[in-house]
Amino acid sequence: MWIGSHVSFNKNTQLLGSLEEALSYGATTFMFYTGAPQNTMRYAIDKTLTKKAREIMEEKGMDITKVIVHAPYIVNLANRLDEEKFQFSVRFLKEEIKRCEDLGISYLVLHPGSHVKEGVDVGIQNIISGLNLILTDSKVTILLETMAGKGSECGCSFEQISRIIDGVEKKDRIGVCLDTCHLNDAGYDMKDFNHVLDLFDEKVGLSYVHCIHINDSKNPLGSHKDRHENIGYGTIGFDALLAIVYNDRLKDIPKILETPYIDKKAPYKEEIAMLLNKKFNNHLKQGN
Ligand code: FE
Ligand code: FE
Ligand code: ZN
């Protein structure tokens, strides 16, 4: 199984540091931002560090095509009222694709964007235009993440995801990243996951899915909140998340945890172990 978590990526250790962090959690894959998630300050990719990391990955049987990069939150293709900001997002994502190519990464997860005051139809049109500017000669596939529908987020229903993909010219360079917390908050019942996959298959097509974020949610179905909870401590619950992780229809798809730190400590080692052992650990969080 390809399972891992969000890990850090530092200027001085780069892919090698991210890999070492992932290995310390007992992970078989991982996801990282090429810098801080909340800003667009980025450094050149170091060839020596990349080579070293790739060698260790090969030794360990880790497949680089299952490793995911996440674009920073602040790029927004959905709003074009400030054309300069939109063009900045396009330029940044083109450069991010080059960084992924340098690292040997195949998939870049992107939040489709927030339309702010433009309305969802214009938002989707802007996202399509942006993606068509970005994906011209890309070897990397952009995965649109399914969103919770907080504020004016686009991509919080399968219909919206499908409309975006319909408008993208390079269909072989666009895909989807499901997120269990976001889906729950958007109103898709994770306790009936096979039905959700049927809906997705009908509206979009299961072959577009290349990553799934495994998170519990702090909020009820359809709350449009987007607050992640630790595995088994939220409204989705351990059994439903376990059934998702072991669902045969997503067998080869990388599963990435983005759950919150507990007492300033990453919970990923324990959470990955819980899912691999199929046994809920009720000691992970105090008060339970
Ligand atoms: Fe995300
Ligand atoms: Fe996510
Ligand atoms: Zn989220």
pLDDT at 288 over 80: no
Distance 51 CA to ligand 2 centre (A): 28
If you measure from the C-alpha of residue 32 to the centroid of ligand 2, how many angstroms do you get, rounded to a whole number?
12
Question: HEC states along the chain?
Answer: CCEEEEECCCCCCHHHHHHHHHHHCCCCEEEECCCCCCCCCCCCCCHHHHHHHHHHHHHHCCCHHHCEEECCCCCCCCCCCCHHHHHHHHHHHHHHHHHHHHHCCCEEEECCCECCCCCHHHHHHHHHHHHHHHCCCCCCEEEEECCCCCCCECCCCHHHHHHHHHHCCCHHHEEEEEEHHHHHHHCCCHHHHHHHHHHHHHHCCHHHEEEEEECEECCCCCCCCCCEECCCCCCCCHHHHHHHHCCHHHCCCCEEECCCCECCECCHHHHHHHHHHCCCCCCCCCCC
Q: How far is the CA of 227 from the centre of ligand 3 (A)?
A: 6
The verdict on residue 248 lying in a domain is yes
Neighbouring residues of the ion ligand 1, judged by CB less than 5 Å = 145
- pLDDT (tens digit per residue) in 25-38: 999 999 999 998 88
In a domain, 287, yes or no: no
200: in domain:
yes
Average the pLDDT over 96-102 and give the result. 97
Any domain includes 50 = no
Q: From CA 89, how far away is CA 95, in angstroms rounded?
A: 10
CA 80–ligand 2 middle distance (angstroms): 24
**Nearest ligand (C-alpha, residue 179):** 2
Question: Relative to the alpha carbon of 180, which ligand is closest?
Answer: 2
CA of 208 to the centre of ligand 2 (A): 16
**Ligand 1 centroid, distance to 139 Cα (angstroms):** 21
CA of 179 to the centre of ligand 2 (A): 5
Average the pLDDT over 108-120 and give the result. 96
Mean pLDDT of 267-284: 97
Q: How far is the CA of 104 from the centre of ligand 2 (A)?
A: 22
First to last CA, the chain: 29
| pLDDT higher than threshold 70 for residue 246 | yes
Give distance in angstroms: CA of 228 to centre of ligand 2.
9
Has residue 57 got a pLDDT over 70? yes
CA of 89 to the centre of ligand 2 (A): 19
**Rounded to the nearest whole angstrom, what is the distance from the C-alpha of residue 179 to the centroid of ligand 3?**
7
Q: How confident is the model at residue 287 (pLDDT cuts 50, 70, 90)?
A: low
For residues 81 and 74, is the Cβ–Cβ distance under 8 A?
no
- Taking residues 44-58, report their average pLDDT: 97
Region at 277 (left for phi over 0; alpha for psi -120 to 50; beta for the rest): alpha
Mean pLDDT of 123-142: 97
CA of 49 to the centre of ligand 2 (A): 27
Q: Please indicate, yes or no, if residue 54 is contained in any of the structural domains.
A: no
Q: For the ranges 30-34, 40-44, 86-90, which has the lowest average pLDDT?
A: 40-44
- What CATH number does the domain containing 141 carry? 3.20.20.150
Q: 222-242, pLDDT tens digit by residue? A: 999 999 999 999 999 999 999
Residue 12 within a domain: no
Q: Compute the Cα dihedral for 88, 91, 93, 99 and give only its sign.
A: negative
The predicted structure's pLDDT at residue 36: 87
Domain count, the chain: 1
Domain range spanning residue 254? 63-277
**Percentage of the residues of the chain whose pLDDT score is greater than 90:** 96
State the average pLDDT over residues 78-97.
Answer: 96
The pTM of the whole model exceeds 0.75: yes
Q: What's the chain's average pLDDT? A: 97
> What is the CA(286)–ligand 1 centre distance, in A?
27
pLDDT of residue 37: 86
Q: Minimum-distance ligand to the CA of 109?
A: 1
In a domain, 27, yes or no: no
d(CA 177, CA 129): 20
Question: Does 2 fall in a domain?
Answer: no
**Cα separation, 145 vs 85, whole angstroms:** 21
Q: Are 64 and 57 in contact (CB under 8 A)?
A: yes
Ligand that lies nearest to the alpha carbon of residue 70, given by its number in the listed order: 1
Instruction: Say whether pLDDT at 250 is over 80.
Output: yes
| 149 C-alpha to ligand 1 centroid (Å) | 13
- The CA 228 to ligand 3 mean position distance, Å, reads 6
At 38 the pLDDT is 86
* Mean pLDDT, residues 80-100: 96
pLDDT tens digit string along 153-183?
999 999 999 999 999 999 999 999 999 999 9
108 pLDDT exceeds 60? yes
User: Rounded to the nearest whole angstrom, what is the distance from the C-alpha of residue 148 to the centroid of ligand 3?
Assistant: 7
